[in-house]
């Protein structure tokens, strides 16, 4: 944690933890920038970040973010974990959301946690099609009629299956989504699974970033 010895970095850490303490229970717009609700992804991401931070701090200073992470996780579990052990999309929405995969992939819960595995299985069953993953189900229409598959979510699925110890599946998800680039070698936001063409914003930076993170992890 050598970089944490820098005074400005430590001040930034304190500001971040304080902001979480003051705001984590407030509704917000979530990963997909929708209406303000109590989104599961946001809380699990906070838990992931706080635990990662605590792991880098001296023990005498790690207790604050570690205890806050446990508080957020306990409250989120009470409000957002379905009776079947699947993480719901939000406190008031029991459907599944592929966005939850990212904090699970980055160590929010231990790899052996059954709720992580149940959530991944639910996303694969309800939101995956032909090796691609949709964000969430908008309504009763077939997934492809509402929007394209999100390449970001496909790379999330690769990361989380790798985290859960299934390397062959991680490689399959990675290669399927890696191949969905356009002629200039760039990725769009979405991929039309039925028409096999790019959709949405092009290029989409977060897709490239997660593709590179996948490549590094799988290579390791």
pLDDT band at residue 143 under the 50/70/90 scheme: very high
Average pLDDT of the chain is 92
What pLDDT score was predicted for residue 172? Answer: 97
Q: What is the CA radius of gyration of the chain?
A: 18
Whether the CB-CB separation of 153 and 180 falls below 8 Å is answered with: no
CA distance 140 to 142: 7
Please check the confidence at residue 2 and state whether its pLDDT lies above 50: no
CA distance 195 to 192: 6
- pLDDT (tens digit per residue) in 49-69: 999 999 988 888 899 999 999
Whether the CB-CB separation of 159 and 151 falls below 8 Å is answered with: no
Structure pTM? Answer: 0.91
List the chain domain ranges. 1-80, 92-220
pLDDT band at residue 1 under the 50/70/90 scheme: very low
What pLDDT score was predicted for residue 3? Answer: 60
Q: What is the mean pLDDT of residues 178-200?
A: 88
């Amino acid at each position: 944690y050598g970089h944490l010895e820098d005074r400005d970095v430590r001040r930034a850490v304190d500001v971040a933890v304080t902001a979480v303490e003051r705001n984590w229970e407030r509704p917000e717009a979530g990963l997909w920038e929708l209406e303000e609700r109590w989104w599961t992804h946001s809380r699990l991401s906070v838990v992931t970040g706080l635990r990662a931070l605590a792991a880098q701090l001296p023990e005498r200073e790690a207790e604050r973010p570690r205890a806050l992470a446990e508080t957020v996780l306990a409250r989120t579990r009470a409000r957002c974990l379905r009776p079947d052990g699947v993480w719901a999309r939000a406190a008031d929405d029991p459907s599944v959301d592929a966005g939850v995969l990212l904090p699970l992939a980055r160590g929010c819960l231990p790899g052996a946690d059954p709720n992580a595995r149940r959530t991944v299985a639910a996303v694969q069953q309800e939101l995956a099609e032909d090796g691609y993953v949709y964000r969430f189900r908008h309504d009763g229409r077939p997934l492809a009629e509402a929007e394209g598959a999100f390449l970001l979510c496909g790379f999330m699925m690769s990361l989380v299956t790798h985290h859960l110890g299934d390397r062959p599946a991680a490689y399959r998800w990675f290669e399927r989504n890696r191949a969905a680039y356009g002629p200039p070698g760039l990725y769009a936001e979405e991929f039309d699974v039925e028409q096999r063409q790019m959709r949405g914003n092009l290029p989409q930076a977060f897709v490239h970033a997660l593709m590179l993170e996948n490549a590094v992890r799988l290579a390791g």
